[in-house]
Structure 1
């Protein structure tokens, strides 16, 4: 009875398929050999008249001031935020041993002068006496002359030693090397300072003019137009655009494979602060061309970014670096030329040498 029910059910199913539906073909339809992969092309054209790169403000001049000699801070004439002029006294140090050494050097110099004066006078008298034949032995006159020259040399040596100690003593008075603002103070009165200190006593910056430092990526170094003005906008002041020219460039790449350029920014009102960030529009040469590919042509893995180029009907993996991006395309740098055929929607499963068409 059960077997009869199964046969009836199968017959009913076959009858329904015959009358109401066509048989379903579950086999995969063969694809045309030229449509196995979706292909695109590399386009060469001018992408933009400028490139946007972040920059940072740096003081035009900055100096960290250390003590050249060991001593105690006697007086501190400045504090953080103080405006100073070139030559102003910033710090006065006290070192009693240096004062004693200077006094000793001064005394030796005075003594040497007295000895030299006495030697010179003795030689003068002997020379006058030698006018009378036989009054003075020639060797005595020669000895007096040698002693006079030796004492004069001693005077010069002692004078040099005294001036050297005077210069060392002047290290106890710290003056501003240029006009600017004290932005950091790390000492107090009574502190022991010296050349071995880790931190500077004070930090002085010239802020009337600042340097806007921008690092140009290697890919754009030869495309930057140094003669055209640049525009920049500070993050702290959105919507306020400034214009200037590139003042100087390093003409060398840093360890990050980029070239540093600087833009001088006037800051007489002290509105801008070192450390501020800005977005800088760097103008590019009008003849500069870029290679563009569709965004979906770039394959990204943990190791690299690449594009699969079609070379004589086979896949060839080309490692690239990305540049500027638009909504549908990306600027790339690599061993590609305009018109090269590439695979769209590629994956890292496509191996080198895979037949494409």
Structure 2
């Protein structure tokens, strides 16, 4: 019998791979179960770890909250007999003058420049004054004319007086009374004209003297010995007499020996400066080698209502002329202290009055009202309300109240009794 024809590909019987597919599926299932177990175990482990840390943090927080708050504590110490007060100041010249022109004209020549030392009366500049010269010449001519007029009036007065004398001495009946009175009036008029002419001469002479004195200001002179610090003119500049808003100074001269130092003292220290007039140590720009001794020479004796400060003036000899006007300096004063104790400024609190927190032997806080004395920013003197050796707390928070127990950290256990700072 002939062989059967082959079947199509899609009708071919499947190959025997059932054993292989079964083994692969089993492996995949086992892997999925293991992975799921690992994920579940990890989930429970993470939750357990988180729960443990949360409970530990809560326990630590409860423990910290149950403990007394830590606070730094220091001892109140006796105030020194004196304390150092350091304030900013500014140097100023003993004399400081701006020199203006006294006449109108043009700058012919200037003879000194900035930085040049000058002596009193030294010529600083020359000014040409053509208008003033013409006025002086006209005034002198007018004076000459007035003096000539006096001579004419003098001759008329002499003639009128002699004529009146002749008519007055004439016998009765020779001249009439009317003519005699007329000659008398003419003599009086001539005398009056002479007086007026002499008065005019006096006026013209005064005008000449005024203009002559003004010509002396053609030379600009130094009013005192010092140093030229400004020169605001040059050759040919038009200058105007006076010191109004429309005019500028020709020179500025300062005298720096001795030197003034101006310091604004706070109201809290003003009383001691007014009564003690202490000496002052002046330091320039932090340079340890530039220190000058001075003394409070004068004060304004009034508190500035805007800044609540007292203007104090210190005089320094400045023999070597190392100090110049306008320097920033530090003035150091040694002031007497009132009897009391001192604590760091961090020990003060205001609730709302000034208070300090006193800590007893059992670390219990007690807020106590105090009276503040001198405050230099870092250390505050307490005049009343606190005793030497008592423990005071620093930097207390607003949550701490009287009667609360704290954990004291003593920063200084050795009381100090300074006599001078």
Specify the TM-score bucket, using the shorter chain as the normaliser: 0.7 to 0.9
Shift of 1:141: 0.7
Where do residues 10-25 of structure 1 align in structure 2 (5 Å cutoff)? none
- Candidates 140, 144, 154, aligned match of 1:120: 154
CA distance in 1, matches of 2:301, 2:339: 19
Shift of 1:233: 2.6
What SS class does the counterpart of residue 188 from structure 1 fall into? coil
Give the number of the structure whose residues are more often helix, by fraction. 2
Segments of 5+ residues of structure 2 without an aligned counterpart are 1-39, 169-179, 357-365, 404-421
What is the aligned residue count?
A: 326
**Residue 260 to residue 290, structure 1, CA distance change in 2 (3 Å):** farther
- Candidates 70, 78, 98, aligned match of 2:132: 98
Structure 2 match to 1:203: 252
**Residue 210 to residue 113, structure 1, CA distance change in 2 (3 Å):** same
Q: Which has the larger radius of gyration?
A: 2
**Residue 216 to residue 152, structure 1, CA distance change in 2 (3 Å):** same
- Candidates 62, 84, 106, aligned match of 2:118: 84
Q: Is the 8 A contact 1:236 1:276 kept in 2?
A: no
Q: Is the 8 A contact 1:112 1:151 kept in 2?
A: yes
Segments of 5+ residues of structure 1 without an aligned counterpart are 300-304
Q: Is the 8 A contact 2:345 2:380 kept in 1?
A: no
Structure 1 match to 2:163: 129
**Residue 293 to residue 131, structure 1, CA distance change in 2 (3 Å):** same
Where do residues 1-357 of structure 1 align in structure 2 (5 Å cutoff)? 45=79, 48-134=82-168, 137-194=183-240, 195=242, 197=246, 199-224=248-273, 226-235=276-285, 237-254=287-304, 255-285=306-336, 287=338, 294-298=345-349, 309=355, 323-326=375-378, 330-331=379-380, 338-339=385-386, 345-346=395-396
Shift of 1:108: 1.2
What SS class does the counterpart of residue 137 from structure 1 fall into? helix
Q: Is the 8 A contact 1:44 1:337 kept in 2?
A: no
CA distance in 2, matches of 1:79, 1:248: 34
- Which of 111-120 and 175-184 deviates more? 111-120
CA distance in 1, matches of 2:185, 2:262: 75
Shift of 1:259: 1.8
Across the aligned residues of Structure 1 and Structure 2, the Cα RMSD in angstroms comes to 4.5
Q: Is the 8 A contact 1:73 1:94 kept in 2?
A: yes
- Which of 247-256 and 139-148 deviates more? 247-256
Name the TM-score, length of structure 2 as normaliser: 0.63
CA distance in 1, matches of 2:95, 2:238: 27
Q: Is the 8 A contact 1:308 1:315 kept in 2?
A: no
Shift of 1:323: 3.2
